[in-house]
Amino acid sequence: MNDLASTAATGRAPGGPAVRAALRRAAPALAAYAAIRLVGLVVLAVWSSADGKNWHTLLTARWDALWYTRVAEQGYGYTVQLANGDVHSNLAFFPLLPWLERGLSAISPLSAPDAGLVVAWSASLLAAWALYATGERLHGPRAGVALAALWAALPVGIVQSMAYSESLFTALAAWGVYCVLTERWVWAGVLASLAGLTRPVGAAVVAAVWITAAVAVRNDRAGGLGLRAILRGRHRGMLPGVLLAPLGWLGYFLWVGARQGGLTGYLDVQGGWGNGFDGGLAFGAFLWHLLSGPGFAGGLGLIAGVALVIWLYVRGARQGQPLPLLVYGGLVLLLALTAKGYFGSKPRLMMPAYPLLLPLAVGLARWRPVRSWLVVGLVTVGSAAYGAFWLNGSGPP
CA distances from 215 to 198, 211, 220, 324 (A): 27, 6, 9, 10
Q: What is the DSSP letter of 12?
A: P
Residues 299, 314: Cα–Cα separation, whole Å:
23
pLDDT at res. 392: 94
Round to the nearest angstrom and report the end-to-end CA distance of the chain: 43
Residues 208, 193: Cα–Cα separation, whole Å:
12
Residues 297, 54: Cα–Cα separation, whole Å:
33
270-328 confidence digits (pLDDT tens): 999 888 887 888 888 888 888 888 888 888 988 999 999 999 999 999 999 999 999 99
| Sign of the Cα pseudo-torsion (120, 118, 396, 376, in order) | negative
Contact indicator for 71, 174 with CB cutoff of 8 Å? no
Angle between helices 166-181 and 96-106 (to 10 degrees): 110
Separation of CA 272 from chain center? 24
pLDDT at res. 397: 66
Residues 6, 12: Cα–Cα separation, whole Å:
10
393's CB contacts (< 8 A; 6+ apart) are none
Task: Give the closest residue to 136 by CA, choosing from 333, 393, 300, 358.
Answer: 358
- The rounded mean pLDDT for the chain is 91
> Any bridge partners for residue 78, and if so which?
none
Of all residues in the chain, what percent carry a pLDDT higher than 90? 75
pLDDT at res. 132: 98
Residues 154, 160: Cα–Cα separation, whole Å:
10
| Sign of the Cα pseudo-torsion (224, 227, 233, 237, in order) | positive
Contact indicator for 370, 163 with CB cutoff of 8 Å? no
Residues 323, 346: Cα–Cα separation, whole Å:
24
Contact indicator for 98, 143 with CB cutoff of 8 Å? no
Task: Give the closest residue to 139 by CA, choosing from 372, 371, 364, 300.
Answer: 364
Residues 255, 273: Cα–Cα separation, whole Å:
19
Residues 103, 249: Cα–Cα separation, whole Å:
21
The bridge status of strand 87-89 relative to strand 79-81 is antiparallel
Q: Using alpha carbons only, how large is the chain's radius of gyration in Å?
A: 21
Task: Give the closest residue to 348 by CA, choosing from 389, 381, 396.
Answer: 396
| Sign of the Cα pseudo-torsion (337, 340, 343, 349, in order) | negative
Which pLDDT tens digits describe the chain residue by residue (397 residues)? 344 434 433 445 566 788 889 999 999 999 999 999 999 999 999 999 999 999 999 999 989 999 999 999 999 999 998 888 889 999 999 999 999 999 999 999 999 999 999 999 999 999 999 999 999 999 999 999 999 999 999 999 999 999 999 999 999 999 999 999 999 999 999 999 999 999 999 999 999 999 999 999 998 887 777 777 667 777 788 999 999 999 999 999 999 999 999 999 999 999 998 888 878 888 888 888 888 888 888 889 889 999 999 999 999 999 999 999 999 999 999 999 988 877 778 889 999 999 999 999 999 999 999 999 999 999 999 999 999 999 998 887 6
Angle between helices 185-196 and 247-260 (to 10 degrees): 30
pLDDT at res. 3: 46
pLDDT at res. 107: 97
29-73 confidence digits (pLDDT tens): 999 999 999 999 999 999 999 999 999 999 999 899 999 999 999
